[in-house]
Amino acid sequence: MPTIPSTALEVRLAARPVGRPGPENFTVAEVPVPRPGPGQLLVRNLVLSVDPYMRGRMNAGPSYAPPYQVGEVMHGGAVGEVVESTVDEYAPGDVVLHGLGWREWAVLDASGAGRIDLDLAPAGAYLGVLGMPGLTAYAGLLDVAGFRAGETVFVSGAAGAVGSVAGQIARLKGAARVIGSAGSAAKVRYLREELGFDAAFNYRDGPVTEQLADAAPDGIDVYFDNVGGEHLEAAIGALTVHGRVTVCGMISQYNATEPTPAPRNLGMLVSKRLTVRGMLVTDHAHLQPRFLEEMSAWLRDGAVHYEETVFSGLRNAPDAFLALLDGHNTGKMLVKLAD
């Protein structure tokens, strides 16, 4: 077992950002390593999750998750090794998933931990394809959008942690055509050549409406939205009658300092009888057992592929987060702390 140090590092919110965050919004602090009390675990974190939703929690306003407090740790998903335990359910050496990330060592209630199986997949997969992003993709496509075999699906932000899984699930569940958008030629190749998308385009190459029309000349039935803005407007125009939209995220607007224009074609929601639903993965926890069963089988069979973009060291967590907001990741963004 690793030696327990007297102090360790954690990343805190230094100031609330206005617009795009920068390094000045974060600080790294050295703090004493606490010891676990009754019902608690001391965990050495191995890998940390970096997610777009964290941008919203940096703001002070009310939202679906409590805002980060200035001067306090930026919590997030993490996988770590149990070093000390005061409960019978966990022993030193167990590897667990928990939500007290952006620190090297954490003390957490055992009720807030979940044991994971590293024989099935590496630690990072439980923060990505087998974790919250994977379940988001699964629930958003199958439950929220009500996808049916034979339909055409468009996914924006399709090379990210959620979008890449959503597109592959659509393919595996019998989509007639899967289309994705991404922000670089390399990501477009990744979608087509490695993930099996039928078509993909770089949204920086021209108007999304025109590129989507070329990729889906007969329209789309389902749109999985991770971007909002121009993508949502283009999708509304391309959707067939009774088409459905899952609004998972709107990363194009996260750093906006002024209200952003709504899609200019909202009248089509009426004429096409469209269904547009926002989603939070926490509303779909009941699907997790079925999701884990199917996704585990797909991973074992090699039917689902995933990528990770990894930064090393806790001090680089802010850089990883800023890179994520700028679209520099392919697949899941992680920060690796230890083997």
pLDDT exceeds cutoff 80 at 159:
yes
Cα atoms found within 13 Å of the Cα of residue 323, Cβ hemisphere only:
17
Q: Please give the Cα distance from 218 to 216 (Å, whole number).
A: 5
149 and 246 both lie in a single domain: yes
- Output the pLDDT for position 257: 78
- Output the pLDDT for position 256: 82
- Output the pLDDT for position 100: 96
43 and 85 both lie in a single domain: yes
Q: What is the pTM of this model?
A: 0.95
* Last residue within a domain, chosen from 250, 267, 282: 282
Give residue-wise pLDDT tens across range 262-293. 899 999 999 999 999 999 999 999 999 999 99
CA-nearest of 332, 50, 299, 327 to 181 is: 327
63 and 149 both lie in a single domain: no
Domain count, the chain: 2
210, two tokens: 């025109």
Q: What element of type H or E holds 232?
A: helix 230-238
pLDDT exceeds cutoff 90 at 254:
no
Q: Please give the Cα distance from 38 to 54 (Å, whole number).
A: 30
Neighbouring residues of 23: CB distance < 8 A, sequence distance ≥ 6: 318, 319, 322
- Output the pLDDT for position 117: 92
Q: What is the mean pLDDT of residues 140-152?
A: 98
Give 62's pLDDT tier (boundaries 50, 70, 90). confident
Give 1's pLDDT tier (boundaries 50, 70, 90). confident
Are 59 and 67 contacting, i.e. CB atoms less than 8 angstroms apart?
yes
Give 203's pLDDT tier (boundaries 50, 70, 90). very high
**CATH code for position 217:** 3.40.50.720
Domain assignment present for residue 287? The answer is no
- Output the pLDDT for position 189: 98
Give 2's pLDDT tier (boundaries 50, 70, 90). confident
Which domain, by its residues, includes 108? 7-128+306-336
SS3 content of the chain, % helix, strand, coil (to 5): 35, 25, 40
210 and 123 both lie in a single domain: no
pLDDT, mean over the chain = 96
164 and 263 both lie in a single domain: yes
pLDDT exceeds cutoff 90 at 63:
no
**CATH code for position 317:** 3.90.180.10
